[in-house]
Amino acid sequence: MLTHTLGFPRIGLDRELKRALEAHWNGHLPEDDLRRTARELRLRHWRLQQEQGVDLVPVGDFSLYDHVLDTTAMLGAVPARYGWDGDTVDLRTYFRMARGEGAAPAMEMSKWFDTNYHYLVPEFRPGQTFALSTTKLLDETGEAAAAGVRPKPVLLGPVTYLKLGKPTVEGFDPFELLDALLPVYEELLAGLSGRVEWIQVDEPALVLDLSEREREAFRKAYARLVKAASPAGILLAAYFDSLRENTSLACLPGIRAVHVDLARAPAQLPDVLRHLREDQALSLGIVNGRNIWRVDAEAAAAPIRQAVDAVGAERVLLGTSCSLLHTPVDLARETGLDPEIRPWLAFATQKCGELRLLADIAAGRDAGAALAENRAAWHARRHSARVNRPDVRERLAAVTPEMSRRPTPHAERKTRQQVRLNLPLLPTTTIGSFPQTRDVRRTRGDFKKGRIDDAAYTAAIQGFIKETVDRQHELGLDVLVHGESERNDMVEYFGEQLDGFCFTQHGWVQSYGSRCVKPPIVCGDVSRPAPMTVEWARYAQSLTDRPMKGMLTGPVTILCWSFVRDDQPRSVTCRQIALAIRDEVRDLEEAGLAVIQVDEAALREGLPLRRSDWADYLAWAVDSFKLATSGVRDETQLHTHMCYSEFNDIIDWIAKMDADVISIEASRSGMELLKAFRNFDYPNDIGPGIYDIHSPRVPSVEEMTALLEEALKVIPAERLWINPDCGLKTRDWPEALASLRNMMSAARAVRAGAE
């Protein structure tokens, strides 16, 4: 029974890739040295998987920025604004697409399905042509073979690639480009076919609602691609949900093996077995690639036995549910983890070993000691007092519907808030964080390591806050923020102060490019033992007579950006977090904060992949936000912020959140989200972001003015706010100040015309 992973983390055990990328972008690391680091990481990761017992090692999953961008480069689908000459896509062009340069903005980013990983959105236009423009996958397959690895090339499939892209001309259907696209895929598959046994083609779009045109595109594509790949077999990989009505598509003739995600959708197995052809193998995604809990080996054995009984052991492969990109590299580094909790966990390296354990159990090989250890860890977790707390459950049971409603309509609240805040037309603000300089990070590190005491740390952070407030005064912003110098991450910071969480030292995962996050782990029932932000916010407000925003992360975002316990419904965990945030909101109000922002950057990200599942999720997600925020007085203004959110289909649910002000990332898409507000009379205030903080380029006054003027065509001036796309922690001060000065100039110009 072959084992395989669908992909492995790229960043390295010590975030070597992050450091190499940033050194290269800063001009300190030549391209050859960057490529050398990448080769070393690939080789290390291949051998690591091999040593853990993985038979088929994925190749081509490694990326210098993003695997979808790699596909764009491979296909020569470079947007014209980057001045590419049409030959090989070089590294400079690649990074210009990712990060922007000069007058050429970066390609739009969006969330990879319902994960916290960001991909670069392909751009499609009528008449677009494609050509094989990098040999990355061929080269890396050769590298792996030369290293003695049994390679399984990984390729993003054409249907998912077209489905995830966006047209640059309104009304254009990217699937019209299928005939132009397929010859490049055929050329690549033909180049791989004689060198490997299996080629993994990822089509996670098969877990989405597909139109008949998209389904027909899939049939057409794979009728050709299976021939191009022969004699190698195509292992078609779908993940993140159930295939449902697309099961028959995945089992088309010629596809040699079908991979399904049994961690997310275990109930689909009987239907898949019914559709599987006699000449097809079945890959069971039995080890969860998106969470850090160790596999329950006894429970996992049941579906493996079911598959073996149905098709025979020789036609069953065992794999991770999806790429291990979404998990940290190695639990062995986590020497500081609570010894009670550590045995409950498995990171990417350990998950590879779990595949071998399950294969050994299925084959009847002696796995007694490992199985006994697995069983003991699961028993300990289920019965731990750290996991189940009666007081938290009693409080949640006492929640009433009235606790999730603000009794006064927004229009009346707004009048009272304006009396208190006295804001101008088109008020300006930022989303929350300001640059996390080396001094800021060093101060936090010194405090964490005991090099400075509480008094020195407090004085230093207050100094950073004062600097941030002073600079906002100089810029002329209307509603200020304290800058979040004390926060390592918008989720981790809160998790560190809540009961029911635990933390890693090296548990980094990639968010996009060189950006890595270290998600906290929700290991038990959640509560707030003490205020988390109040003293910093109170100090910041003491420095100004302008409104200061209290800054919090919302319950849905904390849930989505953490590794969440898998022993109870996510909705229950979310409502526990909501009650903890509710306590903090009320304490901020009592401390004198007139404006409180509760960010729900991940609300859209958490949306189920199938439309039929949306209503249930949105009901509990929106209610959790309202439970967290509805305990304040009318004159307290509540803001929220959302990232990369296409709202057209859920705008009525956004309205139900009843935030006084919502800010949304919008600049990379050219205010495309405003379509959602053309046909829906959104009643509250809106701040569509007018510059992209994820790119180092400084947008011009004219560029931001144009975006504001677009916004004013849809949003009345009395309900429009002016702000960046997101927080500024990843930028440096010169970039941030230059962009904010231009933003304020644009605001003054547009404000003068609107008054």
Length of the chain in residues, anyone?
755
Catalytic residue among 118, 506, 639, 694: 694
Residue 326 is among the residues annotated as catalytic for this protein: no
| Calculated CA dihedral for residues 546, 633, 487, 454, nearest 10 degrees | 90
Task: Please give the Cα distance from 201 to 657 (Å, whole number).
Answer: 40
The three-state secondary structure class of 45 is helix
Neighbours of 14 (CB within 10 A): 12
| Cis status, amide bond into 174, omega within 30 of 0 | no
In the block, tokens 């498995």 appear at 346
Contacts of 401 (CB under 8 A, 6+ apart): none
Segment (H or E) for 110: strand 109-111
Task: Please give the Cα distance from 644 to 31 (Å, whole number).
Answer: 31
Check: CB of residue 661 under 8 Å from CB of residue 638. yes
Segment (H or E) for 164: helix 158-164
Check: CB of residue 62 under 8 Å from CB of residue 140. yes
Neighbours of 449 (CB within 10 A): 8
- For helices 368-382 and 348-363, what crossing angle results, to 10°? 120
Contacts of 694 (CB under 8 A, 6+ apart): 106, 109, 512, 668, 725, 726, 730
Which phi and psi (to 5°) does residue 703 adopt? -65, -45
Task: Please give the Cα distance from 449 to 436 (Å, whole number).
Answer: 19
Q: Which amino acid is at 323?
A: S
The three-state secondary structure class of 510 is strand
Give 76's DSSP letter: T
> What's the Cα-to-Cα distance from 481 to each of 430, 545, 583, 658, rounded to whole Å?
7, 12, 20, 22
Of 98, 724, 24, 131, nearest to 434 by C-alpha is 724
Catalytic machinery residues: 694
